[in-house]
Amino acid sequence: MTEGKIEKVSIVVSKGSLEGIYPALIMANGARAEGIDANLFFTFFGLDAIHKARHEHIKLATVGNPGLHLATWAGGLPGVPSVMTHYMATKMEKLDIPPIPEFIEMISDTGAGLYACQASVDLFGLSKEDFIEQVDGIITVGEFYEIAAGGQIIYT
């Protein structure tokens, strides 16, 4: 990192909810738009974002999220998470923010690195075949630190 400019960001995606994943993608995309190197490191439930069978079904957390201004009991009613997720997706579409699968593909196309966390992959019994083809590798925490050196680590 030089004094005047951030040269690289390495963003850890640890959550599997819509509102957990989008900020990470927006920060990675925003970095690439400024010519800043960007890496995304998917760990724990964040792995869903690059999981072939799951990445189209990411939902908003409608309970445990007072920011939604939904009564807690209402957020847990059957169907509510899907309705709220659909509502958010519609608003994003209007702003030209793509759905998660397309957004990740787009970010990969800008040259950003996409990595899955080895320990989490083992924990959930997954393998390379479960992930979208844009994933550059399954790496250890040690390898992540090597890749992240000289930049900012942003854990989301």
Window 30 to 59, contacts with a second copy (CB under 8 A): 30-31, 33-34, 36, 43-46, 48, 54, 58-59
Query: Is residue 16 within 8 Å of residue 57, measured between CB atoms?
Result: no
134 part of the interface to a second copy, by CB under 8 A: no
Shortest distance in whole angstroms from residue 124 CB to a second copy: 8
71-130 binders of a second copy (CB under 8 A): 71-73, 75-78, 80-81, 91-92, 95, 97, 119, 122-125
Query: Is residue 139 within 8 Å of residue 146, measured between CB atoms?
Result: no
**What is the rounded CA–CA span in Å between residue 78 and residue 81?**
8
4 part of the interface to a second copy, by CB under 8 A: yes
Residue 136 makes CB contacts below 8 A (sequence gap 6+) with 113, 114, 115
**What is the rounded CA–CA span in Å between residue 28 and residue 82?**
26
Shortest distance in whole angstroms from residue 136 CB to a second copy: 19
Shortest distance in whole angstroms from residue 37 CB to a second copy: 12
